[in-house]
């Protein structure tokens, strides 16, 4: 119970502040949109740039860590996609959007602060390694799958260009790519600029958590509950279970297992809704899965914290 009170609940209380603020009219829908635009377009990319530009890539990018986490993510994607198609009889475009919910964990807004509060800031290297690949990997899988099903019978020659254009419109991917470029080249970032980026990054998590609470109020659950609960189960149960099993198989170290499993046990991220909205498919399922999954991840993450070393 102490893990629940000391580690997880402060994160969700900040979410609740945003939810109640919008619900009671203290914070407008337009304000939520602007706040999320600031965090996702500026503050979080700065946070990711600062972290990835300075981490030890050789020590952090452990193949066992990444294989463990992304095996679980891919399992979640395909199970959610095929379940939506063959159990719930959704069309292929809806099924890909639903599959994305099983693929994309909330690695930044939930996985990062919960891991830090549970195990300390020194335990975050694995989280940043996962995050460095998270948006590029998930959007590559999701966009490629969606473009394939949308272009059934058409030419595949234009597919790579469509995928790349969609990916590099995403500010998170741009921040990650710039951070990797600085890290690999050793390009010296001026101290004053580095300090400014650091200040922006410090605002990212609390502001984004508050804004996420407002987003979750807007997209309250409506219908499709069987599909929504299926997606939530895939995200909160299947993904971390596969990740944990793969971590044991590869004899992943303690810090790596903690980072991978806590991130995998987090709810679908807001990007699940962003992806659904981008294509205009399964938006209600995606939004409701984010809301319900965020609430239930209190339990899923708590249980995993009891299991993890």
- Please say whether the structural domain 2-307 has been given the CATH code 1.20.1530.20: yes
Neighbours of 26 (CB within 10 A): 10
Q: Model confidence over 59-71: pLDDT tens digits?
A: 667 889 999 999 9
Cα(166)–Cα(169) distance, integer angstroms = 6
How many other CB atoms sit within 10 Å of the CB of residue 20? 14
Condensed to tens digits (0 to 9), the pLDDT of residues 20-71 reads 999 999 999 899 989 988 988 899 889 888 888 887 777 667 889 999 999 9
* pLDDT tens for each residue of 173-204: 888 889 889 988 988 889 999 999 999 988 88
User: What is the reported pLDDT for 121?
Assistant: 83
pLDDT, the chain, mean: 86
- The pLDDT assigned to 156 comes to 64
Among 35-39, 84-88, 96-100, whose mean pLDDT is lowest? 35-39
C-alpha–C-alpha distance, residues 216 and 99, integer Å:
20
Domain ranges of the chain: 2-307
Say if residue 109's pLDDT is above 90. Answer: no
Residue range 202-219: average pLDDT?
83
* pTM score of the predicted model: 0.80
Q: Does 97 score more than 90 pLDDT?
A: yes
More confident residue, 118 or 31: 31
At residue 86, the pLDDT reads 96
State how far Cα 32 lies from the chain centre.
19
Has residue 99 got a pLDDT over 80?
yes
Burial class (CB in 10 A: 0-12, 13-18, 19+), 9: middle
Which tens digit of pLDDT belongs to each residue from 221-243? 666 899 999 999 999 999 999 99
* Res 295: pLDDT: 83
Which pLDDT does position 37 carry in this prediction?
A: 86
């Amino acid at each position: 119970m102490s893990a629940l009170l000391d580690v997880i609940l402060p994160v969700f209380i900040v979410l609740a502040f945003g939810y109640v603020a919008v619900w009671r009219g203290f914070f407008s829908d337009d304000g939520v949109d602007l706040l999320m635009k600031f965090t996702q377009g500026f503050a979080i990319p700065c946070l990711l740039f600062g972290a990835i530009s300075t981490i030890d890539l050789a020590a952090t990018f452990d193949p066992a860590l990444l294989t463990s986490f992304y095996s679980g993510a891919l399992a979640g994607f395909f199970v959610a996609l095929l379940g939506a198609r063959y159990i719930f009889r959704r069309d292929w475009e809806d099924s890909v959007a639903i599959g994305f919910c099983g693929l994309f964990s909330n690695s930044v807004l939930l996985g990062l602060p919960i891991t830090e509060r549970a195990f300390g800031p020194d335990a975050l290297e694995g989280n940043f390694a996962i995050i460095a690949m998270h948006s590029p990997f998930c959007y590559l899988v999701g966009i490629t799958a969606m473009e394939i099903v949308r272009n059934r019978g058409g030419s595949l020659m234009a597919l790579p260009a469509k995928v790349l254009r969609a990916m590099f419109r995403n500010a998170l991917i741009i921040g990650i790519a710039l951070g990797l470029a600085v890290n690999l080249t050793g390009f010296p970032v001026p101290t004053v600029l580095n300090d400014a980026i650091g200040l922006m990054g410090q605002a990212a998590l609390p502001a984004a958590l508050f804004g996420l609470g407002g987003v979750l109020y807007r997209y309250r659950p409506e219908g499709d509950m069987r599909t929504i609960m299926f997606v939530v189960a895939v995200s909160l149960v299947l993904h971390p279970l596969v990740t944990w099993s793969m971590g044991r198989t590869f004899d992943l170290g303690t810090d790596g297992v903690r980072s991978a499993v806590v991130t995998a046990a987090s709810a679908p991220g807001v990007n699940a809704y962003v992806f659904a909205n981008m294509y205009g498919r399964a938006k209600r399922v995606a939004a409701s899965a984010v809301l319900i999954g965020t609430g239930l991840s209190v339990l899923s993450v708590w249980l995993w914290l009891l299991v993890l070393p």
